[in-house]
Amino acid sequence: MIFAGDFAQLMPCYNGNVGTSVDASMSEHGQQSAIGKALWHQVTTVVILQKNMRQNTQSVEDAKLRTALENMRYAKCTADDIKFLRSCITGRQPNQPKLADKRFRNVSIITALNSQKDRINELGSARFATDTGQTLTDFYSVDTLGVEC
């Protein structure tokens, strides 16, 4: 059996308070947790990969991001990491990047609220329609009772 993942990001397959014995009075989740812990304790060989192979070639900015992410992983961000990450925040200030910039047209964007994500998706859809010469139309779904949703 092979387990793969980033142990700095993934929760363990069991809670530390879980025993390894299973009995019928336990909840299904409790039984699964106990079995998971028992299986995990049977692992005898661990291989830790040290070299990140995702980026074999990288720009200076890629290297800064990679370093910041590695430092963040271990809660060891430096002042340079924070400065670099802050330079990636979009906003209205003259020195901040703008979502309308061409370089951000097709990138994933993290937002705090679904309403922000929805607005970004609306703007992106309108831009895509304009770029491809298509027209967007409003679509309302109607449930079985004929009431607009």
Q: How crowded is the C-beta side of 80, counted as CA atoms within 13 Å?
A: 8
For 116, 138, 139, the CA distances from 144, given in Å and listed in that order, are 31, 20, 16
Q: What is the pLDDT of residue 40?
A: 81
Enter the pTM of the model: 0.45
Concatenate the DSSP letters of all residues of 43-83 into one string. Answer: --------S--S-SS--HHHHHHHHHHHHHHTT---HHHHH
Beta-bridge partner residues of 142: 148
Alpha-carbon distance 128 to 136, whole Å?
Answer: 10
The enclosing H or E element of 124 equals helix 114-131
Q: Is residue 33 within 8 Å of residue 14, measured between CB atoms?
A: yes
pLDDT (tens, 9 = 90+) of the chain, 149 residues, equals: 677 776 666 555 555 566 666 777 788 888 888 888 888 888 888 887 777 666 666 788 888 988 898 888 888 999 999 999 888 887 777 777 777 777 777 777 778 888 888 888 888 888 889 989 998 877 554 444 444 44
Q: What is the pLDDT of residue 79?
A: 96
Q: What is the pLDDT of residue 16?
A: 57
Q: What is the pLDDT of residue 50?
A: 75
